[in-house]
Amino acid sequence: MAAAIAAVLTGGTARMAAAADNNTDRVLIKYSKGSKAHLQQMLKAAGGKVHFNLDAIDTIAATLPVSAIEDLKQAPDVEFVETDAPRYPMGQVTPWGVSRVQAPQAVAAGADGTGIKVCVIDSGINPNHEEFAGIAITGDSGNGQPWDTDNCGHGTHVAGTIAAADNGVGVIGVSPGKVALHIVRVFGDSTPNSCGWSYASTLIDAAQRCQAAGAKVINMSLGGGGSSIAERDAFTRLYQQGVLSIAAAGNDGNGTYSYPASYDSVISVAALDSNNKRAVYSQYNSQVELAAPGNDILSTLPFRSAAISAGDTSYPATAMTGTVQTVAHGLLVDGGTCATTSANWTGNVVACKRGTTTFATMATNVTAAGGLGVIVYNNTPGGFSGTMSPYVSTIPVVSVTDTDGAAMLSAQLGQDVRVSTIFESPASAYGYMSGTSMATPHVVGVAALTWSAAPQKSNQQVREALAESALDVDAPGRDFNTGWGLVQAKAAVDNLVSGGALQPGIPPSQLMVVGDTVKNKFQVSLLWTRGDSTVDVYRGGVKIMSAVPNALNTTDTPKLKGTGTLIYQVCNAGSTTLCSSKASLYY
């Protein structure tokens, strides 16, 4: 058999030697046992360069003239010859939301979240994800399911936005691998993709577990309609004891109130799109306090529903609902909108642009033309999850972002592409989600960064710093859509460390109507303010109250009964020039 190899290779030696030096390829050659010595002789005679003798797998890595490789493949004792594919360090991506909230600037200044424990009440976590390596993670089960598994994906995604490590791969979080995490699982069961729902009592118990674990900040990317007195009192107590609770404003796109976000003791977070506008789904009301990026947020996932590899590049993908679980290989071709079939789709993977053609029609057309897989790329910024229901495909159908679709068509068109819809769990995966649930961990992360810069400060002072340093992106002052505005980490750090000297244009400290008192009298109390300021409250252009901090706790029977709007401002003591803009207080 060795002689047969020699004969074949000798026949091609002249062609090998004559090949131009720049027309070579690096290959892996798998040989039959006992043939290595003769193979090495032939490679040397042909001018090949051996890089590795991989004896454990009977393989040689070598660079050879391209013209000789086909001859080599015909050798009887050569089992296969394949390209020695390049491997590169995987690139790390900073999601747009992390940059938008000034997290890198705060981290660069030394406020990176070290020493702060954040509690995430959600669906659990995959603690073995590559992004959580080295992070101190503890947990509790709030629903009888293990906290260190996540069959929903929501909790792992939220945790990644807060804390994904700066490790050169995947994504980076607001506090990159620095905060400690405590996980309390309240959603999901043992069924894949199960998220489910919970109760106010479960949430109260979970929040108390967070406090017992030493968490200073609580992330609640959850909520529901209908307030609860017990739940309200529980979060008020936590706030009074120094815990900062932050929750999602809700995704119904209307002016209704979601809880626990709408309790006075909880920061309610709205979602912004990439243009710093309120996302269409984000609920808007008087309790919205801060805003953060919520659209198309790339973060960690505990499982992989789909994967695309093209050449040496991998792309995050999401399996369409209704797709078969399988793997397809083929050349990447551009199918346009895939509204009609095409002969050149046969045996290929087809890229389809999202549009008016339904996903089921795209899959049907590609299948009918003999295509092997469908990659649907978005026609608007970001990623998406699609469904073909009730249609069930026989080829893999996945979705990707608009930018990844454009990148594939630019760099991988005509190249071999692998599309997989095989579900993998657990996995160190990544994916896009949208919602106020995704906005909330941005604020939580910024709160951790800010607090780490001055850990001796109170939760009230941190809350005030976040509000006063927020970037006003909607109506001047506090508004229903975005509250005080887009949270800004570096500005909040500077505000907290400097003691928050009041400057013109800074949003005023907040007055809150805390509810009905005896005989339907409304009580206006000062939720927080700084020690050198006065508070003036106006109604109908007439000043009805004036007080210094911690002294305003007044019931004004005739003027605050019923519903209406107050106007208030905050000024530095003894100054008529360093006043914030007037803003509205709704009760």
Q: Is there a contact between 182 and 211 (Cβ–Cβ < 8 Å)?
A: no
Q: For residue 198, how far is the Cα from the chain centroid?
A: 23
Cα angle 302, 161, 376 (rounded to 5 degrees) comes to 65
Q: Is there a contact between 162 and 151 (Cβ–Cβ < 8 Å)?
A: no
- Ordered strands of the 117-122 beta sheet: 137-141, 180-185, 117-122, 217-220, 244-248, 266-272, 288-293
What's the CA gap between 585 and 566, in Å, rounded? Answer: 5
Question: Any bridge partners for residue 61, and if so which?
Answer: 28, 52
Which amino acid is present at 330? G
Q: Is there a contact between 174 and 445 (Cβ–Cβ < 8 Å)?
A: yes
> Smallest Cα–Cα separation from 252: which of 440, 475, 437, 478?
437
Q: Which residues contact 199 (CB under 8 A, 6 or more apart)?
A: none
3-class DSSP assignment, residue 308: strand
What's the CA gap between 137 and 572, in Å, rounded? Answer: 43
Which one is catalytic: 77, 112, 122, 205? 122
What's the CA gap between 258 and 260, in Å, rounded? Answer: 6
Q: How far is CA 274 from CA 294, 312, 430, 447, 526, in A?
A: 9, 29, 20, 21, 34
Q: Is there a contact between 486 and 276 (Cβ–Cβ < 8 Å)?
A: yes
What's the CA gap between 240 and 88, in Å, rounded? Answer: 51
How large is the C-alpha radius of gyration of the chain? 30
Is 154 labeled as catalytic in the residue annotation?
A: yes
What's the CA gap between 315 and 292, in Å, rounded? Answer: 26
Question: Any bridge partners for residue 183, and if so which?
Answer: 120, 139
CB-based burial of residue 21 (10 Å sphere; 0-12 exposed, 13-18 middle, 19+ buried)? exposed
Q: Is there a contact between 424 and 270 (Cβ–Cβ < 8 Å)?
A: no
What's the CA gap between 290 and 496, in Å, rounded? Answer: 17
Q: Can you give the three-state secondary structure of 112-141, one letter per residue? A: CCCCCEEEEEECCCCCCCHHHCCCCEEEEE
Is 329 labeled as catalytic in the residue annotation?
A: no
Which one is catalytic: 71, 112, 148, 154? 154
Q: For residue 309, how far is the Cα from the chain centroid?
A: 21
3-class DSSP assignment, residue 266: strand
Which one is catalytic: 67, 227, 314, 425? 314
Q: Which residues contact 88 (CB under 8 A, 6 or more apart)?
A: 312
Is 129 labeled as catalytic in the residue annotation?
A: no
Q: How far apart are the first and last CA of the chain?
A: 91
Query: What does the buried/exposed string (b/e) look like for 38-60 if buried means 16 or more CB atoms within 10 Å of the residue's CB?
Result: bbbebbeebbbeeeeeeeeebbb
3-class DSSP assignment, residue 307: strand
Which residue do the tokens 């594939």 mark? 408
Question: Any bridge partners for residue 535, and if so which?
Answer: 547, 570
> Which tokens hold the place of 387?
């469904």
The residues that are catalytic are 122, 154, 314
